[in-house]
Structure 1
């Protein structure tokens, strides 16, 4: 027998009720986008050279459109000064609708490589073992100097160190160079 004030509804204790509430809340949060908005976003993803699922996930997470890519020298397949870009890189870079920026690895001349790929700027990546706070400061300083918000910049890289740099700087996300360029390049 239910007590005073009980409406004889379902029992709110237990996993079933909590699962139902979770499904309802989740469904209420997901936006229903008009078809034309989805079409625009598919075209934008194609212009950026990204899979729609990747683009939509980043956009949903950050709430912003991507306006710039930060390519690591590893993702470009350049490991020493004067070395050519890996196959397919120049055409893919030229076709991207995003502003191009370079994150240069150690031993490379960032200005020269940035000019070769048509990058707006070059960031010299901190060395291995650099503290999180120093990486964060360096990336935030670079973002301020470029007038960029971190959540509008996607990092295209290859190494775990580059993923840490992306996270420390608060960038929108990370996509491997192999995935972005559609092949595999050995990172050093």
Structure 2
């Protein structure tokens, strides 16, 4: 006697052969690429990491985690050392100007929401008093307004509160400003 599954079960059968096709595709890809990436691909990614102002290890881990390239760098005003005025110091501005991605900032109150050079745009940072839901909604709407998928945005910040933004919107990753700017501080 055969077992008849209940409502909502598909009995584990793949009627269109999707599982088989997926298995064959994975086998073919593994055979083509092998266990390591081709040298040309690694060289391209090393150049891309340098163009973003990142070390290769950080870039590779973000790329492996999301499966996509970094499209934007989103800085907090703290990371840019914009503490009293909406201005970026020369060394940090020079490094930002070289980044080959969209450059944006989330500006904390009481600073005005203006994008100083070389940033492409700026928006208001979430408030410390925002609930997690409001924080997620605010950040998601900000990225959506600029046409950016969250998993292609790398956050650069200074505080634990800013690091929590990464998990809230499922961003590509989080890097401290010291790690990103290094000696430029």
| Both structures adopt the same fold (TM-score exceeding 0.5) | yes
SS at match of 2:65: helix
Distance in 2 of aligned mates of 1:31 and 1:134: 43
Distance 1:42 1:105, change over 3 A: same
Q: TM-score w.r.t. structure 1 length? A: 0.76
TM-score by length of 2: 0.77
Q: Deviations over 1:123-150 (max 9, x none)?
A: 2111113211111101111111111100
Give the 3 Å change call, closer, same or farther, for CA 100–31 of structure 1 in structure 2.
farther
Aligned residues: 153
Unaligned runs of 5+ in 2: 1-29
Gap regions ≥5 residues in structure 1 = 1-27
Q: Tell me whether 1:76 sits opposite 2:80 in the alignment.
A: yes
Shift of 1:121: 2.1
Give the superposed CA RMSD.
1.8
- The alpha-carbon deviation at position 183 of structure 1 amounts to 3.8
Q: Give the conservation status (yes or no) of the 8 Å contact 2:91–2:184.
A: no
Which position in structure 2 is the counterpart of 1:146?
146
What's the offset of the Cα at 1:87?
4.9
Deviation readout 1:62-115 (Å, 9 max, x if unpaired): 000001000111111111225x4245111101111011011101111112xx1x
Query: SS of the residue aligned with 2:62?
Result: helix
Inter-partner Cα distance in structure 2 for 1:86 and 1:120:
16
